[in-house]
Amino acid sequence: MTARHFKDTVYEYFSRIGKATSSPKRLEILDILCQGEKSVEEIARNAQLDVKNASAHLKVLHAARLVASRREGKRVYYAVADATVADYWMRTRTIAEQRFAEIERTAKCFFTDREIMVTLDRQALLGKARRGEVVVLDVRPHSEYEQGHLPYARSVPLAELERQMATLPRNKQIVAYCRGPYCVLSAEATDMLKERGFRAVRLADGVLEWRAAGGPIASGPAFGG
Amino acid sequence: MTARHFKDTVYEYFSRIGKATSSPKRLEILDILCQGEKSVEEIARNAQLDVKNASAHLKVLHAARLVASRREGKRVYYAVADATVADYWMRTRTIAEQRFAEIERTAKCFFTDREIMVTLDRQALLGKARRGEVVVLDVRPHSEYEQGHLPYARSVPLAELERQMATLPRNKQIVAYCRGPYCVLSAEATDMLKERGFRAVRLADGVLEWRAAGGPIASGPAFGG
DNA sequence: CTGTCATTCTAGTAATCTATAGAATGATAG
DNA sequence: CTATCATTCTATAGATTACTAGAATGACAG
């Protein structure tokens, strides 16, 4: 084996990671899968893709071995291959944020007037949540909540928010979080809540960011309902 | 701005990092630039590309803001934008290594019989080098040595090795290193040395890996010469 | 064994990317 | 002002990729 052939071979492997992460839609899928495993149909719906196209993108991610799949009955469930993939996705996002100030500007523009909870004092938030001084809402689907959520958080998927509003306190601050700083679910939730006169703010952290910052993660089914 | 438009916008930025790192040749360029700044012509020669093509790849890396350029007289020098880029490249390599066992297999096959210095005991190597029990050779070009090298290492670019062999000790072990675990320079150096009866081994670490492992880095012009 | 549902495979088209070569630019030396 | 050198820009052919739609597969229910 010549030196040139060796280099071509190994660098081709290195480049596969880049190829897999070179499509916005594939990154969106990866971000969703970082919240827990999902069927192709769920992935397609969440990433706003048609199922065939989502399947094709998943094939590419699978070829780069960033995701793994398992069949259960009729459905095929995909998940990130391991925790290092979620870590890599967060690092890719960070590198992009550092390079493109436009990202923060776009996010600020989109999240205008949707107060962002300072993510600096995670311990303080945790304490308030424990003492019941604030209500922490996890507005992702129940399945994602079950696969890992913030301590003391209550699972209220966006679709159920309308129905559950009566059970929320009007005198306490409501802190909504979702999949992370670029997920729109919590923003939609705080919009709905504020329209109805609740005191609601958006937490930029998702489970991934919270855990990466050293915060504790709970798991298991939703309590109450 | 709709939620969909917002997501499309920010994920497009995220994907630019993947696009930039989706070509083997661009990663090879990035790896070279992690050793220090270089002119387009030097980059092209090292990555075995024609200058026009190298310039085109550099343009893509520049668009992703992974590299920065400055003009000095007729020449344009490129360098990694900052230290986080080198870090990201190492992490991309690590993720690829974890996913593709073929990489290690290919490397083992190529580096057969080229003993790899165990990189576990960096402190021990440093001590031996300090006491003169081993000779550490930096076989990269002088310019890269000057931009950062292992302590006690002697700069002997591959092209000068033949000429400088007479000045190397036959009774001591010679440890050659270059740009990192997938760089072939040190392997070529140890091949040459062993053919002439020297006791030579290859160190998989380059400056990047050494520094990432917490090792001290020296800089400045070559001593002796 | 037939029908249904979820997913993947195959094929075709439009768009994008790589490598290559010729023309153009920018800086310098004479 | 002209020649030269390093680099970039422009144009093009060939390869690859994304999306779309129809066909095929795999698992299950009746």
Q: Is residue A93 part of a domain?
A: no
Same domain, A122 and A195: yes
DSSP of B28-43, one letter per residue?
HHHHHHTT--EEHHHH
Nearest residue to nucleotide D16, by CA–C1' distance, is A19
Helix (H) or strand (E) holding A131: helix A122-131
> Which residues in chain A have their CB less than 8 angstroms from residue B14's CB?
24, 27, 92-93, 96, 103
* pLDDT for position B112: 80
Q: Give the best residue of B99, B106, B108, B179 to mutate against chain A (max A CB count within 10 A).
A: B99
Is B121 a domain residue?
yes
A72 CA from C3 C1′ (Å): 20
B121 and B80 both lie in a single domain: no
In eight-state DSSP terms, residue B220 is: S
- The CATH code of the domain that includes B127 is 3.40.250.10
Claim to verify: residue B108 and residue B194 sit in the same structural domain: yes
Q: What per-residue confidence (pLDDT) applies to A209?
A: 95
Which residue segment(s) compose the domain that A8 sits in? 3-86
Neighbours of A174 (CB within 10 A): 21
In which residue are the tokens 């311990």 written?
A123
Hey, which residues 174-213 in chain B have their CB within 8 Å of chain A? 182, 184, 187-188
Return the structure tokens found at B80. 């990694």
Q: Quick one: closest CA in B to A19, which residue? A: B22
In chain A, the N- to C-terminal Cα span, in Å, equals: 63
Does residue B189 form part of some domain? yes
Q: Which pLDDT tens digit goes with each residue over A98-151? A: 999 999 999 999 998 666 766 668 889 999 999 999 999 999 999 999 999 999
Would you call B2 helix, strand, or coil by DSSP?
Answer: coil
Same structural domain, B117 and B195 = yes
> A134 and A194 in one domain?
yes
Is there a contact between B18 and A18 if contact means CB atoms under 8 Å apart? yes
In a domain, A154, yes or no: yes
Find chain B residues with C-beta within 8 A of A103's C-beta.
10, 13-14
- A223 within a domain of the structure (yes/no): no
8 A C-beta contact, residue B193 and residue B123: no
Confidence of residue A225 (pLDDT cuts 50, 70, 90): very low
Determine the nucleotide nearest to B59 by Cα–C1' distance: D8
Q: Is there a single domain that holds both residue A79 and residue A168?
A: no
The half-sphere exposure of A137 on its side-chain side, counting CA atoms within 13 A, is 29
Which of A21, A53, A86 delimits the end of a domain? A86
Instruction: Say if CB A32 and CB B11 are below 8 A apart.
Output: no
Looking at the structure, tell me whether residues B116 and B193 fall in a common domain. Answer: yes
> Given this model, what pLDDT does residue A35 score?
97
Report pLDDT for B222: 77
Task: Mark the ranges of chain B whose per-residue pLDDT is less than 70.
Answer: 113-115, 117-120, 223-225
What pLDDT is stored for residue A115 in this prediction? Answer: 66
* Residue B147: how many other CB atoms lie within 10 Å: 18
Split into its structural domains, chain B has a count of 2
Domain-embedded: residue B197: yes
Does A121 share its domain with A204? Answer: yes
Let me know whether B108 and B189 are in one domain: yes
- The CATH number of residue B31's host domain is 1.10.10.10
Same domain, B112 and B58: no
Query: Is residue B221 a part of any domain in this protein?
Result: no
Query: Would the pLDDT of A165 be above 80?
Result: yes
Whether residue A181 lies inside any domain: the answer is: yes
Q: How far apart are CA B223 and CA B206, in angstroms?
A: 20
Hey, which residues does B117 pair with through a beta bridge? B203
Q: Which positions on strand D lie below 7 Å from a protein C-beta?
A: 5-10, 17-23, 26-28
C29 C1' – B68 CA distance, angstroms? 28
Q: Is B53 on the interface with A (CB under 8 A)?
A: no
Q: Are B132 and B124 in contact (CB under 8 A)?
A: no
Cross-chain residue pair B27–A16, CB shorter than 8 Å: no
**Residue A10: what pLDDT?**
97
Asked whether residue A109 falls in the same domain as residue A194, the answer is yes
B125 and B204 housed in the same domain: yes
